[in-house]
Amino acid sequence: MQVYAAGSLVAALKDVIAASGIPAEAVAAPTFGPAGLLRKRIEDGEKADLYLSADLASPRRLVDAGRAKDVVPFARNTMCVLARADLGLTPDNLLDRLLKPDLRLATSTPGADPGGDYAQAVFDRAETAHPGSKAMLEKKALKLLGSPNTMVPMAGRSPSATVFLGNNADALLYYCSGQSGTMKEAPGLSLVQLPPNLLVPATYAMALITDNPDAMRLALFLVSEKGQAILARHELGPISGP
């Protein structure tokens, strides 16, 4: 079984596979990367049995193109700002501070990575709260993640940690999940929740591409109570309430 999965699922998926009961020899090493780029590789003919994306749009596109059978949401995430703690960012002052010309704001790459698309959606909401801010944020955003042509992560470090360890930016608008690990890699950071008027929900969805029975088994396990509990340990929200 070959799984293509969003990079934000690296740690969670390894634990899910280990707990799924699927024999280790039946599972190839998952292919991780920006979900938009992985979708393009599948569209171009690469073979995968199951595709796990950080959005709904990419799996739906595969289904619409006849490359996948079904789309199933399996987790939720939210966007946060990870920033140098000395900046003193809070939900209340966040937008004003992000708009300051001297603050370097990093995002992922729209189109290549849903994280970049969600950042653009945050900018859209900012425009409603503060007219003119969308253009300012789009102009200043440093697209450091989510593309082969962007920042190269430091050896042994995550891309998010490299943003700060390499002094590439002062703040990063990205997924909330996984950032507790980033803060261990790069001390001196704080995680700031977006205020309600900027909140953008992120729905993760999978696409079943083949009839591989192990892929179907893994898909079912992901939405089971046990699978959802594992995702929760990795800071991903349940796809539905109790």
At a CB cut-off of 8 Å and minimum separation 6, what does 199 contact? 78, 79, 125
Each residue's pLDDT tens digit, 20-40: 999 999 999 999 999 999 999
Contacts of 96-99 spanning 24+ positions with Cβ under 8 A: 98/137, 98/171, 98/173, 99/130, 99/133, 99/136, 99/137
Q: How far apart are CA 130 and CA 198, in angstroms?
A: 11
Helical residues (DSSP H) of the chain, grouped into ranges: 10-19, 35-43, 57-64, 94-98, 114-129, 133-140, 159-165, 179-185, 213-222, 225-233
Q: Is 45 left (phi over 0), alpha (psi -120 to 50) or beta?
A: left
pLDDT at 53: 98
Q: Which of 60, 58, 36 is nearest to 108 (CA)?
A: 36
Q: What is the CATH number of domain 3-76+203-233?
A: 3.40.190.10
Beta bridge partners of 33: 6
All CATH 3.40.190.10 domain ranges of the chain, comma separated, are: 3-76+203-233, 77-198
In the chain, the percentage of residues whose pLDDT exceeds 90 is: 95
Which of the listed CATH numbers 3.40.50.300, 3.40.190.10, 3.20.20.450, 1.25.40.20 matches domain 77-198? 3.40.190.10
Average confidence score pLDDT of the chain: 96
Q: Residue 241: which pLDDT band, with cuts at 50, 70 and 90?
A: low
In the chain, the percentage of residues whose pLDDT exceeds 70 is: 99
pLDDT at 242: 44
